[in-house]
């Protein structure tokens, strides 16, 4: 339908004609809206992935979080491990990428008793994403 034909219709005839035959709504407009919506979805999808870790040397807090993975693996019941939030002692040599972390962990023993253990871990950062276990080489773990 041409715009000139649209102008000649009565109000009732205009209401009876579907929106897709309206001369002001063009296919390009619909594609433009669809493209904009897809673009916004992609941008929001990328922004959700903001936890990408750069290939920098880990901070003491990041090393503490990574060390918890290895300490949990040594516990009889790893799912019951409860680490303190900020109570740890780091000794870091950034030149050699070596990290020594000292802290405590509460866990439930096999007999059902809650025990609090002190632990020390010595590990080296090999590079990559600090939050992945394969980015670290564990030299020793001592849980008392």
Q: Give the per-residue pLDDT at 15.
A: 79
pTM: 0.60
Q: Which residues pair with 140 in a beta bridge?
A: 122
Does residue 29 belong to any structural domain of this protein? yes
Q: Give the per-residue pLDDT at 104.
A: 95
Q: Give the per-residue pLDDT at 129.
A: 86
Q: Give the per-residue pLDDT at 54.
A: 52
Query: 130 and 101: one domain?
Result: yes
* Count of domains observed in the chain: 2
Distance CA 19, CA 11 (A): 14
Over the chain (144 residues), what is each successive 10-residue block's mean pLDDT?
Answer: 76 74 66 90 72 71 94 91 91 92 93 92 92 93 92
Query: 82 and 42: one domain?
Result: no
Q: Give the per-residue pLDDT at 5.
A: 79
Q: Give the per-residue pLDDT at 11.
A: 84
Q: Which of 63, 58, 74 is nearest to 119 (CA)?
A: 74
Q: Give the per-residue pLDDT at 103.
A: 96
Query: 87 and 130: one domain?
Result: yes
Q: Which helix (H) or strand (E) holds 73?
A: helix 60-74
Q: Give the per-residue pLDDT at 48.
A: 65
Does residue 117 belong to any structural domain of this protein? yes
Query: 26 and 70: one domain?
Result: no
Distance CA 136, CA 97 (A): 10
Q: Give the per-residue pLDDT at 47.
A: 64
Query: 39 and 66: one domain?
Result: no
Query: 34 and 97: one domain?
Result: no
Query: 71 and 108: one domain?
Result: yes
Does residue 55 belong to any structural domain of this protein? no
Residue numbers of the domain that contains 16: 3-48
Does residue 53 belong to any structural domain of this protein? no
């Amino acid at each position: 339908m041409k715009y000139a034909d649209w102008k000649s219709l009565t109000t009732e005839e205009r209401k009876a004609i579907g929106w897709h035959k309206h001369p002001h709504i063009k296919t390009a407009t619909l594609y433009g809206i669809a493209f904009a919506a897809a673009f916004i979805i992609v941008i929001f999808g990328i922004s959700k992935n903001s936890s990408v870790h750069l290939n920098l040397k880990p901070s003491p807090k990041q090393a503490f979080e990574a060390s918890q993975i290895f300490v949990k693996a040594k516990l009889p019941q790893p799912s019951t491990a409860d680490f303190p939030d900020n109570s740890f002692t780091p000794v870091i040599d950034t030149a050699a990428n070596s990290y020594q972390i000292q802290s405590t962990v509460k866990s439930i023993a096999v007999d059902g008793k809650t025990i609090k253990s002190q632990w020390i871990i010595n590990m080296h950062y090999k590079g990559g994403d600090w939050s992945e276990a394969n980015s670290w080489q564990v030299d020793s773990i001592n849980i008392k």
